[in-house]
Amino acid sequence: MGSSAITAITIGLCLVLVAVYFASDSYRVMQNVIITTGLSENSYVKSALNFLKPDEKDQGSSVARDDLNKPKKSQQLLLSPEELKSYDGGPDSKGLYLAILGEIFDVEKGAQHYRPGGGYSFFVGRDAARAYITGDFSETGLIDDVSDLDSASLASLEDWLSFYKEEYKPVGKVVGKYYDFNGQPTELLLSIREKMNVGKGNKWAEDKNKEIFPPCNSEWSKERGSKVWCSKKSGGIDREWVGVPRELHIQGKDPRCVCVKNYGPPSTDPNSNQHNNNGDLDYPLLKEYPNCPPASESCTVSHP
C-alpha cells in the first residue's frame, strides 16, 4: 500500500472518529473516505484497526525496559545492603523483603506483620540475623553479624531459616558479608554453616539421647576395673533392642557411654527402605571403645 493511501486512511480515521462524536451523518463521512482510498468497507475497517495497534517493536522495547530490574524466574536477585533498605514497606518501597544470613525473602504474604507498624516491621529492609538469636531488637542488635556466637545459638537460627523457606518465597541474596557478586557463599558463611551443623548435632543428641541413646549400665571394681554394657532396660529406658556401647561426644561436655541400636534404619528416618542396616551407628558424634569388639554388648574401659 502506497504512502498516499496510508495518509488517506489516517485522515479518514480521524474524520470518522470526529464524525462519530460530533456529526449526525457519520456513515456518509466514512463512505466519502472509502471512495477516496478505493478500498472496500471491510478492508478499510481492517486497515484502520491495524493502524491503531501499537508497534510490536516499540512495545517489545517498552516491556524489555520495564523488565530490566525484574529478576527472571531462573535468575536470583542480588542486592547490596543499601539497596535492600528500599524494600522496607514504606511509602516509596519497592517491596517487602527481609534477609537472614544473606538470604532474601519476600514477606508480602505476611504484610500485616511486616509493614510499618507491624509487630515484626523492624526485620524488614535489612539482614537482622543476630536479633533472631539474641532477642535484641534495638538498632545495635538488628545486625547481620553472628560470627562470635556459639554453635548451639546458631542451630536455632537454622530453625528460623527453615521457617522462612517454608512460609515465604526466597528471591535472592545480599551481596557482601555472606554472598559474593555472583551469589556464591563466602568463606565466612561456609564457616558459620559448619558451626550450625555442629549445633544441630548437639541439640539433636541432647533432645533424643534418652530415647535414641539410652545410658549404658556400668560397674567398677578394683580387681576388674570398669565395665559398661547394654540391656533392654539400661538407662531406665524400656525398649525392644539391646544395642552396643559407644562413647557419645558432645561439644563442651564429657564423653559418656550410651547404648546404640546397631541394626535396621536410623532413628532419624525409621521408615526408610534404603539404609545400611546399621541402625544409629553412623551418627557422627559416636566413637567406639578402644580394644572392644564393635558388635559386643559389653566393654571393659579405662574411663566409664
Counts for the chain of helices (H) and strands (E), in that order: 9, 10
Cβ-contact 246, 289 below 8 angstroms: yes
Q: Given this model, what pLDDT does residue 18 score?
A: 47
Q: How far apart are CA 116 and CA 119, in angstroms?
A: 9
Closest among 119, 131, 127 to 156, alpha carbons compared: 131
- Beta-carbon-side half-sphere exposure of residue 219 (alpha carbons within 13 Å): 7
Q: How does pLDDT run along the chain (304 residues), one tens digit per residue?
A: 555 555 555 555 555 444 444 444 545 555 555 555 565 555 555 555 454 444 544 444 444 444 444 544 447 899 999 999 999 999 999 999 999 999 999 999 999 999 999 989 999 999 999 999 888 888 999 999 999 988 878 888 888 898 899 999 999 999 999 999 999 999 999 999 988 887 666 665 565 667 788 899 988 777 778 899 999 998 888 899 999 999 988 777 778 899 999 999 888 778 877 777 889 998 888 999 999 999 999 999 875 4
C-alpha cell read off for 72: 527472571
Cβ-contact 146, 154 below 8 angstroms: yes
C-alpha cell read off for 67: 523488565
With 0-12 / 13-18 / 19 or more C-beta atoms within 10 angstroms meaning exposed / middle / buried, residue 192 is buried
Q: Given this model, what pLDDT does residue 208 score?
A: 61
Q: Given this model, what pLDDT does residue 134 score?
A: 85
**CB count in 10 Å sphere of residue 273:** 6
The CA–CA distances, whole Å, from 304 to 88, 212, 245, 299 equal: 57, 20, 11, 10
Q: How far apart are CA 62 and CA 129, in angstroms?
A: 39
Q: Given this model, what pLDDT does residue 27 score?
A: 52
The CA–CA distances, whole Å, from 151 to 2, 202, 291 equal: 78, 9, 32
Closest among 64, 132, 69 to 95, alpha carbons compared: 69
Closest among 155, 178, 199, 152 to 100, alpha carbons compared: 178
C-alpha cell read off for 136: 535484641
C-alpha cell read off for 135: 532477642
Cβ-contact 130, 178 below 8 angstroms: no
